[in-house]
Amino acid sequence: NAGVTQTPKFRVLKTGQSMTLLCAQDMNHEYMYWYRQDPGMGLRLIHYSVGEGTTAKGEVPDGYNVSRLKKQNFLLGLESAAPSQTSVYFCASSYSRRLAGATAYEQYFGPGTRLTVT
Amino acid sequence: GQSLEQPSEVTAVEGAIVQINCTYQTSGFYGLSWYQQHDGGAPTFLSYNGLDGLEETGRFSSFLSRSDSYGYLLLQELQMKDSASYFCAVRRQAGTALIFGKGTTLSVSS
């Protein structure tokens, strides 16, 4: 299994350009997530999906859109890139299982996409 | 609001024991998780506490006290490869999304 894969690995955009980041998972996980990671800020949730055809906003959704047309794919779009969106973007997927006496949603992360907006 | 507090940096020597604390303030709580991230890599899952008490996985243990809104990750017999960032994360509602702390950078020296 490849696990969670992300395309592209690196990208440089000019302000105002648009792009789509692709996330794919082959573990048949129901849940998928997009995070951004900035120095000293930890991981911040942008959008997530609890199943095919569903999406929900996270902590920092502004400037991003997502789609989950197929269970295995979760797309993150930037309509008009801004320098503030320079970051490392991680996709993750999870499923529910019993762990430590409760229901856990252990997340599996992709390798990340390094995006620079100039 | 939602917040998770953990120390920004911890240093230790090989073979030592280190504890990384995490306190949280969230509107809901459905479990505390810990993730490890090596420089330039992706976060990987370490442990989960849904109930109060200690969970042990090899050299790593994690503890939760829901009444104190507090947990910790305990790393024993430290090795150089344990040098990484460690994040606590809370599932704050009856869904699947996690809120992460800002991370603790652990540096292990020989």
For each of chain A's 118 residues, which pLDDT tens digit applies? Answer: 789 999 999 999 999 999 999 999 999 999 999 999 998 888 999 999 999 999 999 999 999 999 999 999 999 999 999 999 999 999 999 988 887 778 788 899 999 999 999 9
Count the alpha carbons within 13 Å of B91 in the hemisphere toward its beta carbon.
21
A83 touches chain B (CB under 8 A): no
Q: Do A42 and B50 touch (CB under 8 A)?
A: no
User: pLDDT for B24-40, tens place per residue?
Assistant: 998 878 899 999 999 99
What residue in A sits closest to B8 (Cα-Cα)? Answer: A40
> A42 exposed, middle or buried (CB, 10 Å; 0-12, 13-18, 19+)?
buried
Tens of pLDDT, residue by residue over B36-93, are 999 999 999 999 999 999 999 899 999 999 999 999 999 999 999 999 999 999 987 6
Question: What is the nearest CA distance from B23 to chain A, expressed in angstroms?
Answer: 15
Whether residue B13 has pLDDT greater than 90: yes
pLDDT of residue B21: 98
DSSP state of A101: T
Q: Residue B101 pLDDT > 70, yes or no? A: yes
**What local confidence, expressed as pLDDT, does residue B1 receive?**
63
Q: Using the 8-state DSSP alphabet, how is residue A99 labeled? A: E
